[in-house]
Amino acid sequence: MTNSPLAHRLEGFGASIFAEMTALAVQTGAINLGQGFPDYDGPPEVLRIAQEQIALGNNQYPPGIGVADLRQAVSVHQKRFWGLEYDPNSEILITVGASEAIAASLLGLLNDGDEVVVFEPLFDTYAGLTSLGGAVLKPVTLRPQPDGRYTFDETELAQAFSSKTRVILLNSPHNPTGTVFTTEELSIIARQAIERDLIVISDEVYEHLVFDNAVHVPIATLPGMHERTITISSGGKSFNVTGWKIGWACAPAHLVNAVRMAKQLFTFAGGTPFQVAITAGLRLPDEYFSTLAADLQEKRDMLTNALSAAGFVPIKPEGTYFITADISNRWPHLNSLEFCQQLPHACGVVAIPASVLYHPTHATEGTHLVRFAFCKQLSTIHEASERLVNWK
């Protein structure tokens, strides 16, 4: 075979930066603040139900659209927290994590040559999935502002659209910047979607992980948006069980059907005992969700202070698992990839270079930015902070 077996649509997409940096963490024994998964378990009552279900033999395929009780729990959750109403029988689809819901949404909706408007830096699978759908990514850059948060330029957003645009792919709370889009920002996005008759795929996996005075507003709650939005979330982030991969998509029935048509070709269905356990998680009292956010906020503050003391310029996040920080003040001679490759050897901490989370034509936007995850035990964050502050 003389030619590469790799499909043309995947050319240019290398191995995940997360795999590379996690391997470097193992090699050096460094604290891994690169990949966004907790190093502690979720609520015991949720874990116990998964164990009980496995022991009871509930280990075969669930219904293709998901366990009925979980669909009902998702429906109640959306109403309870966000005032959104979805029919659990026709407007909710359970998926193998939010990633499958995003993949199925894109592949179920896109045709060759369509365009997808997305905000960058972005979760790394968005670009590859858009390419697999035969579509073209149209990135709009989020940039740090004097007030310490990232946002977009309204003119740049307007210029990203064309007659070929079919989808806006939104992520709020936003990975990796930690921005929680305001109602005003969402209204600007919604206006474009309505005027151009577009579909919005809204990735909201960090919906409960917001800090200080930030408020998560699902874009589907805005006037004219419910009927054109696919809202996606999962149990992984809210219950510290990222390996369970139980997600969902909520939308009007005709949109859910498009997602389901693609999803059934991937996994059909899975995670039966975990679906039952996540059902119980969604029914936990409000105190659980507020305590979850408060715990993460404490860790965010500890790591933010340490980064400042170490010579970084951190951009304080309003939500998610992540802090981005500018390295150019102390390390102007290094780009973010070089810096992250050296950091584990230098002080025993792993981060992710933000430059790889931008479109290749915009990579210079992130050459001075790195991303740290603070979704770890307080003792882990404390030790990483000590290493950063004491690094000479």
> What are the tens digits of pLDDT across the range 216-239?
999 999 999 999 999 999 999 999
What is the pLDDT, as a whole number, of residue 35? Answer: 86
The pLDDT score that the predictor gives to residue 76 is 98
Give the confidence band of 2 by pLDDT, cuts at 50, 70, 90. Answer: low
Return the closest-CA partner of residue 86 out of 233, 235, 271.
Answer: 233
**pLDDT at 32 exceeding the cut of 70:** yes
Q: How much is the pLDDT for 14? A: 64
Delineate the domains of the chain, giving CATH numbers in brackets. 8-42+287-389 (3.90.1150.10), 44-284 (3.40.640.10)
Q: Chain-wide mean pLDDT for the chain?
A: 95
Residue 176 confidence (pLDDT)? 95
Angle in degrees, 0-180, between the axes of helices 17-28 and 336-347, rounded to the nearest 10 = 20
Of 214, 143, 127, whose CA–CA distance to 173 is shortest? 214
Identify the residue with better confidence: 17 or 161.
161
Q: What is the pLDDT of residue 124?
A: 83
274-286 average pLDDT score: 98
Q: What is the mean pLDDT of residues 63-73?
A: 98
pLDDT at 227: 98
Q: Each residue of 117-137: pLDDT tens digit?
A: 999 999 889 999 999 999 999
The percentage of the chain sitting over the pLDDT mark of 70, rounded to a whole number, equals 99
Q: Which of 16-25, 66-75, 154-163, 320-329 has the lowest mean pLDDT?
A: 16-25
Mean pLDDT of 12-24: 78
Whether 1 has a pLDDT exceeding 60, the answer reads no
User: According to the model, what pLDDT value does residue 333 have?
Assistant: 95
Mapping DSSP onto H, E and C, the string for the chain reads: CCCCCCCHHHCCCCCCHHHHHHHHHHHHCCEECCCCCCCCCCCHHHHHHHHHHHHCCCCCCCCCCCCHHHHHHHHHHHHHHHCCCCCCCCCEEEEEHHHHHHHHHHHHHCCCCCEEEEEECCCCHHHHHHHHCCCEEEEEECEECCCCCEECCHHHHHHCCCCCEEEEEEECCCCCCCCCCCHHHHHHHHHHHHHCCCEEEEECCCCCCECCCCCCCCHHHCCCCHHHEEEEEECCCCCCCCCCCEEEEECCHHHHHHHHHHHCCCCCCCCHHHHHHHHHHHCCCHHHHHHHHHHHHHHHHHHHHHHHHCCCEEECCCECCEEEEECCCCCCCCCHHHHHHHHHHHHCEECEEHHHHCCHHHHHHHCCEEEEECCCCHHHHHHHHHHHHCCC
Residue 317: both structure tokens together? 């996040």
Q: What is the pLDDT of residues 237-259, one digit of tens each?
A: 999 999 999 999 999 999 999 99
- Give the pLDDT score at 209: 98
What does pTM read for this prediction?
Answer: 0.96
Task: State yes or no: pLDDT of 38 exceeds 90.
Answer: yes
